[in-house]
């Protein structure tokens, strides 16, 4: 049972291991070696299917967005920051505590 196979395939470039590693770095998600193959397959099949937007997007001109920014008065509201900081895995006073940006060389 496969819905919607009526459009022919328009294969984009095949997804490679390098693509996965590059995109995962961009996404800040660690990928282990044994996860790469299945991600290549998964991304490949979705992107191959999605590539069909190229076929129909020809000659479509996007008009400028009708969206307007919704404004409100710039008024400071008091709220208890501790409520927010308390959600953090680690916090100190009103700071979120995180590991150092650079690893220690000790």
Partner 1 sequence: MNNLAFATIKELRTKLVNKEISAQELAAFFTKRFEQHDTKIQSALEVFGADSVLASSEQQGVLQGIPGLIKDNISQKGRALTCSSNILKGFKATYDATAIVRLKQEGALLLGRANMDEFAMGSSGETSAYQTSKNPWDVTRVPGGSSSGSAAAVAAGLVPWALGTDTGGSVRQPAAFCNLVGSKPTYGLVSRYGIVAYGSSLDQIGVMTRTVYDNALVLSVIAGHDPRDSSSLAVQKKDYTQSLDGTIPAGLRIGVVDNALYADGMDPEVVSAIEQAIKVLEQLGATIKRIKLPALDYSAATYFIISRAEAASNLARFDGVRYGMRDKKSSSLSDMYFNTRHDGFGTEVKSRILIGNYVLSAGYADAYYENAKKVRHMMTKNFLDMYKDVDLLVMPTAPCAAFKFGAFAQHKLQMDLQDYFTCAANLTGMPAVAVPCGMTSTQLPVGFQLYGPHLSEELIFKVAHAYEQKTAWHTMHANV
Q: State which of residues 11, 74, 89, 92 lies at the interface with partner 1 (CB under 8 A).
A: 89
Q: State which of residues 8, 11, 18, 26 lies at the interface with partner 1 (CB under 8 A).
A: 26
**Would you count residue 60 as binding partner 1 (CB under 8 A)?**
yes
Q: What tokens appear for 34 in the block?
A: 């044994």
Give the span between the Cα atoms of 96 and 82, in whole angstroms. 11
Give the span between the Cα atoms of 43 and 14, in whole angstroms. 9
**Would you count residue 70 as binding partner 1 (CB under 8 A)?**
yes
Q: State which of residues 66, 72, 78, 94 lies at the interface with partner 1 (CB under 8 A).
A: 72
**Would you count residue 11 as binding partner 1 (CB under 8 A)?**
no
Distances (CA, A) of 20 to 13, 40, 48, 50, 56: 13, 7, 15, 18, 28
Show the beta-strand stretches assigned E in the chain.
91-92, 95-96
Q: How far is the CB of 23 from partner 1 (least distance, A)?
A: 5
The residue (of 62 and 76) whose beta carbon lies closer to partner 1 is 62
């Amino acid at each position: 049972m496969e819905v919607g196979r009526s459009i022919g395939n328009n294969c984009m470039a095949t997804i490679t291991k390098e693509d996965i590693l590059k995109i995962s770095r961009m996404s800040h998600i660690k990928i282990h070696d044994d996860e790469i193959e299945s991600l290549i397959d998964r991304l490949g099949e979705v992107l191959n299917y999605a590539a069909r937007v190229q076929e129909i997007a020809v000659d479509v001109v996007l008009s400028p967005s009708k969206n307007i920014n919704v404004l409100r008065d710039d008024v400071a509201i008091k709220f208890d920051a501790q409520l927010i900081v308390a959600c953090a895995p680690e916090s100190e006073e009103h700071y979120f505590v995180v590991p150092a940006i650079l690893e220690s060389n000790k």
